[in-house]
Amino acid sequence: MSINMLTSVAEIAKNVKETLSDAEGGHDWYHIERVWKNALNIHQHEKKGDLYVIQLAALLHDIADAKFYEGDEAIGPATARIIMTKHQVPEKVKEEVIRIIENMSYRSSFSEHSYTSVELDIVRDADRLDAIGAIGIARAFNYGGFKNRPLYDPNIEPVEILSKESYVKNTGPTINHFFEKLLKLKDLMKTEKGKELAIKRHEYMCDFLEQLYTEVR
Q: Going from the N-terminus, what domains does the chain have, and what CATH number goes with each?
A: 3-216 (1.10.3210.50)
pLDDT at 68: 87
User: Is 54:119 a contact under the CB 8 Å cutoff?
Assistant: yes
How far from the centroid of its chain's Cα atoms is residue 123's Cα? 8
pLDDT at 63: 96
User: Is 178:26 a contact under the CB 8 Å cutoff?
Assistant: no
- pLDDT tens figures, 122-152: 999 999 999 999 999 999 999 999 999 999 9
- Burial 101-123, CB ≥16 within 10 A → b, else e: bbbbbbbeebeeeeeebbbbbbb
For residues 60 and 158, give the distance between their C-alpha atoms in angstroms, rounded to a whole number.
31
- pLDDT tens figures, 45-62: 999 999 999 999 999 999
| Of 33 and 8, the one with more pLDDT | 33
pLDDT at 166: 79
- pLDDT tens figures, 73-119: 899 999 999 999 999 999 999 999 999 999 998 888 777 777 999 99
pLDDT at 200: 98
For residues 64 and 83, give the distance between their C-alpha atoms in angstroms, rounded to a whole number.
12
| Of 171 and 108, the one with more pLDDT | 171
pLDDT at 174: 97
Contacts of 17 (CB under 8 A, 6+ apart): 29, 32
Q: How is the chain split among helix, strand and coil, in percent rounded to 5? A: 70, 0, 30
Q: Please state the φ and ψ torsions of residue 170, each to the nearest 5 degrees.
A: -65, 130
Contacts of 160 (CB under 8 A, 6+ apart): none
